[in-house]
Amino acid sequence: MPDEQTDRSYRVEMLGWFETIKRSFDPLLLKGRNRFSESAGWIGIWLVRLIIDELNKQIDLLQKLAKVNEDGFISAISTIYRLRSSDFLFNTSDLRVITDFSLFEFADYHMLYRVCEHGTTETPRIIDIDDPNYSHYSSVQLVQGTNTIEYATSDREGRTVASYWIELPSGRILIYNFHYDSTNKEMNAIIEMKEMYRYIKGICMHLEERGLLNRRGPHHAAN
């Protein structure tokens, strides 16, 4: 199995290959232009330029996803070592994988009780899903709907919240919320990866097995 350094080298090599393809397009444009009449040639160049623009967008997305994936791998490795530590380092702060977060438990038919959070400023301790003041929350929409992921604009300006529905083997239902900048358009693709969902759920399962998923009221994950 390749080590972390080798895996990182593969990702760098892949992105370098895409960059080489992009740089190769410009000289090819001139050759293509000279093979057609003036009008047809410009139409061909315009079409190729559209392709190049889309390729640039895809390269940029790949670069950002590679960086987030690398951060995710590092987080996963850290969590594994913290799990086996005799110092009992593993705790709810390990739920901060790629963004700030909040974690709620759904119970009593219509209540969401905050278990922990990290990096949020306006996350309530208790949410009544029947209260219209909370109807715009992604966590409330998730509970009241049929999706496994919901998105909503946060009460905090410029922030988006995405929510996971997580059912633990014990039967407890958790709502995990990602809190992130709305300008980060690539985050949705990362959140919707099934591997990310399984990773978050796995951490929750380990936390519950250790008795660390308690309703802590106003306490923070960092405490």
Q: Are residues 68 and 99 in the same domain?
A: no
Q: Is residue 125 part of a domain?
A: yes
Q: Is residue 214 part of a domain?
A: no
Q: Give the model confidence (pLDDT) of 39-48 as tens digits.
A: 444 555 556 6
> Taking the CB of residue 174, how many other CB atoms lie within 10 A of it?
22
Q: Is residue 218 part of a domain?
A: no
User: 83, 114, 129: which is the final residue of a domain?
Assistant: 83
Q: Are residues 50 and 78 in the same domain?
A: yes
Query: Domains in the chain: how many in total?
Result: 2
Q: Are residues 105 and 158 in the same domain?
A: yes
* Nearest-angstrom CA–CA distance, 147 and 184: 22
Q: Is residue 222 part of a domain?
A: no
Q: Are residues 118 and 30 in the same domain?
A: no
Residue-averaged pLDDT of the chain: 76
Predicted confidence band at 89 (pLDDT cuts at 50, 70, 90)?
A: confident
Q: Are residues 25 and 61 in the same domain?
A: yes
Q: Are residues 205 and 96 in the same domain?
A: yes
Q: Give the model confidence (pLDDT) of 188-199 as tens digits.
A: 888 988 888 988
Q: Is residue 158 part of a domain?
A: yes
Q: Are residues 121 and 193 in the same domain?
A: yes
Residue 107 belongs to domain spanning: 92-209
Q: Are residues 105 and 147 in the same domain?
A: yes
Amino acid at 8: R
Per the CB < 8 A criterion, the answer to whether 200 and 177 are in contact is no
Q: Are residues 70 and 176 in the same domain?
A: no
CATH number of 141's domain: 3.30.450
Q: Are residues 50 and 100 in the same domain?
A: no
Q: Is residue 52 part of a domain?
A: yes
Q: Are residues 96 and 79 in the same domain?
A: no
Beta-ladder partners of 112? 106, 127
Q: Is residue 220 part of a domain?
A: no
pLDDT at 131 over 60: yes
User: 41, 58, 83: which is the final residue of a domain?
Assistant: 83
What pLDDT does 221 receive?
40
pLDDT at 173 over 90: yes
Which tokens in the block code for residue 19?
Answer: 């960059």
Q: What is the DSSP string of the chain?
A: ---HHHHHHHHHHHHHHHHHHHHHHHHHHHHHHHTS-HHHHHHHHHHHHHHHHHHHHHHHHHHHHHHHHHHHHHHHHHHHHHHT-TT---SGGGG-SSSEEEEEEEETTTEEEEEEEES-SS--SEEETT-GGGTT-HHHHHHHSS-SEEEEE-SSTTEEEEEEEEE-TTS-EEEEEEEEETT-TTHHHHHT-HHHHHHHHHHHHHHHHTT-----TT--TT-
User: 50, 83, 116: which is the final residue of a domain?
Assistant: 83
What is the torsional sign of CA 70, 75, 76, 82?
Answer: positive
Let me know if 64 is exposed, middle or buried by CB neighbors in 10 A (0-12, 13-18, 19+). middle
pLDDT at 219 over 50: no
> Taking Cα atoms as reference points, which of 205, 126, 194, 129 lies closest to residue 164?
194
Q: Is residue 215 part of a domain?
A: no
Tell me which of 187 and 170 has the higher pLDDT.
Answer: 170
What pLDDT does 223 receive?
30
pLDDT at 72 over 60: no
Predicted confidence band at 1 (pLDDT cuts at 50, 70, 90)?
A: very low
Predicted confidence band at 63 (pLDDT cuts at 50, 70, 90)?
A: low
Per the CB < 8 A criterion, the answer to whether 79 and 91 are in contact is no
* Nearest-angstrom CA–CA distance, 26 and 118: 47
Predicted confidence band at 154 (pLDDT cuts at 50, 70, 90)?
A: confident
Q: Are residues 71 and 9 in the same domain?
A: yes
